Chain A
């Protein structure tokens, strides 16, 4: 078991280190002079050298990585906007909880809708209901959030006038972004649940349970669904990263002041240190959640550990 954990942790550290290097040096990969790209037509009136120094582009590559990493860890990292005094970390600390809140609410919403829907489809396999569920899932996975968001605003904010289109007004304004963000996950999870329920339905212990004369409700919810949920839980964990990425688009559409808007604003303002820090943070969360999922899976299902040991 400890070997398994160490292997996983080691892999995680390597990916984090790799991403830090790439993220720090990505300015050096831009074609042409990054300072010119940043400043555009305004370069004439701007102190290019000050900007170059502030971002550290005048230093060797390894030093850039070291300085960025050091400033990030010590909390000294400043934005790449003159006068280079604003700290990056407090900004992130302000925005991150909002993105996490949005992501978590979307996730809970997705689970609450998807699992009953999946079980329902599986129980009515081959009927019109099942077909309807499939069409819904297909649409859910295919519809881009950048389209769904405005349509939801048009219908619920403008035509029906139920929620505000703009701004953050308590929990009510979280409804539309959370719906937008969760739709793809609902679609995917419900299909997953359906398939998993059908698989378990064919197992011998289910036949036994039915033969014992248990009511169908008990068989479905206690015996089938509980066992069917194991793969679904894994998918939920792995999908967290996807949700986080989706939050960027969703936050832009709904003007939700979280990490997504911070990142977009930093890109627009060419505030590269903030861009670097945000990307690194996204990577960190993604990697951490994957690690936790892997580890949790190992704990839940002893077979996973045994297989690894055997290999």
Chain B
């Protein structure tokens, strides 16, 4: 009997509706209210509905969004001026009161946002006049602006009787308005006539959650869908590129892959050994063959083109140099190129097939220069638990798109070394310590002049690049597969969805 109700489903994909664009997602957004989203897809879809005061441009800089301008008015105080005539999708005006409500609700335990700890840094949010808001922090903190991409929701939500209606039909001031979500797998948006940036030309924007990668690829091949961003593995890209109606767009930026060292391991504490390992890995070959070119060899956490990016030492593939460095470090190969190793280390990775295959190649390249590698692949929970507690010698992992360079504090500051006492909080899992780096990171966080900040991060990138607490492997590209029906779409390096507002359907 249930079969018959499907006829009335609003999610028909055939025949294709004129002006309709279908975007495939690999997993379902957990919420459409940005205040309750943790997943990347959730945040991206929610931001399209409800943008924030600022958004992040392609170089990782905050730029005005709902705010037409922002400035620093005190050591820890910022002023935002909203654009004129902003309205929510239901026609209600968007004023400073809505901004105040949004940020207060984030730290309200009653509301229960999972992002609360992040926003507790804000000590006050005040409406100066209907278009002006001032935000005060508990201390100088330059990375603040990136957290102000939070989508602005109406202050009417303070009235709890409106909440249920809002959850059914969320609104914001974004380029697209919510139409319906008939089930978990389908979200339908329509263009918002009064969007400050102009009404989008797409008549209907549908997000379809397709969890199976092969099915995503086949749907794109058949022309059932128009766009998929970062949800197709590199090996399948050539097949898609060959299809006459599909185009690929690639930009470096999505995710930074690295090989992490544990400084508590006697040999790895020696910089020469770390540099030898960096010279032993052929990153060009790995990106060419494993990623089919959809990754760019990296020298540090930040991708080229990021506002704070600076050149750091490059360790070219040079096995001879690697062997020389190891000899120098007092670790000679006992039998030349024979089966005996200079020393053996364990290398932990997850059981993910692709990650494991990359780890096998890296292990083979290390064996080439006489380092014995005991490769161990663990189920994600176990692997991650070990990594968090610093229980590894060598491991490879990936940071999701690095936008805010303050991440250096989490990853390389000596305050961020996880220990039992701080209940294993901190991303400096290898235990890297360099007082100079600590100082620069602290200065950069409170330095508000962008140029001076960039200079500090340039120093950090250079010294970390020599110290090598990580071997930087590569930046994985953001890859969009686009049906030629879509015109004007330009993929964001971080995979953000705001370019969806600027495209047309042919």
A interface, CB within 8 angstroms of B: 30-33, 36-37, 39-42, 44-47, 50-51, 81-84, 91, 94, 97-98, 100-101, 105, 149-150, 153-154, 157-158, 161, 164-171, 173-174, 252-255, 257, 261-262, 264-265, 268-269, 271
Contact = CB atoms under 8 A, between A and B. Distances in A.
Interface stretch (B57-65, B270-278, B381-389): B381-389
A158 B214 contact: no
Contacts of B184: 91, 257, 261-262, 265
Contacts of B410: 44
A81 B30 contact: yes
Contact of B214 (A37, A150, A170): A150
A82 B382 CA distance: 25
Given A169-B12, A253-B215, A269-B39, 17 more contacts: A32-B382, A32-B384, A32-B385, A37-B380, A40-B384, A45-B114, A83-B112, A150-B218, A157-B218, A166-B210, A167-B13, A168-B6, A170-B6, A252-B212, A255-B210, A257-B184, A268-B211
A81 B31 contact: yes
B27 interface: yes
A102 to B, nearest CB: 9
B382 A167 contact: no
Contacts of B424: 36
7 contacts: A37-B385, A44-B410, A50-B114, A94-B183, A150-B218, A255-B212, A265-B27
Given A105-B3, A165-B215, A268-B27, A46 B117 contact: yes
Contacts of A33: 385
Interface centre among A40, A98, A167, A253, by most chain B C-beta atoms within 10 angstroms, is: A167
Given A46-B115, A168-B9, A265 B211 contact: yes
Contacts of A154: 218
Interface stretch (B189-197, B221-229, B320-328, B353-361): B221-229
B3 A101 contact: yes
Q: Which of B111, B212, B384 has the most CB of A within 10 A?
A: B212
Interface in B90-120: 111-118
A50 B2 CA distance: 38
A253 B214 contact: yes
B185 A165 contact: no
B434 interface: no
B419 interface: no
Contact of B114 (A47, A91, A94): A47
A158 B222 contact: yes
A50 to B, nearest CB: 7
- Chain A contact residues, majority secondary structure: helix
A167 B222 contact: no
Contacts of A171: 3, 6
A30 B379 CA distance: 11
B238 interface: no
Contacts of B11: 167-168
A165 B223 CA distance: 10
Contacts of B113: 82-83
A170 B7 contact: yes
Contacts of A83: 36, 111-113
Nearest to A98: B2
Interface string B153-190: 00000000000000000000000000000011100000
A265 B13 contact: no
A165 B219 CA distance: 6
A167 B15 CA distance: 12
Contacts of A164: 13-14, 224
A127 to B, nearest CB: 38
Contact of A44 (B36, B221, B400, B425): B425
Given A32-B382, A153-B215, A82 B222 contact: no
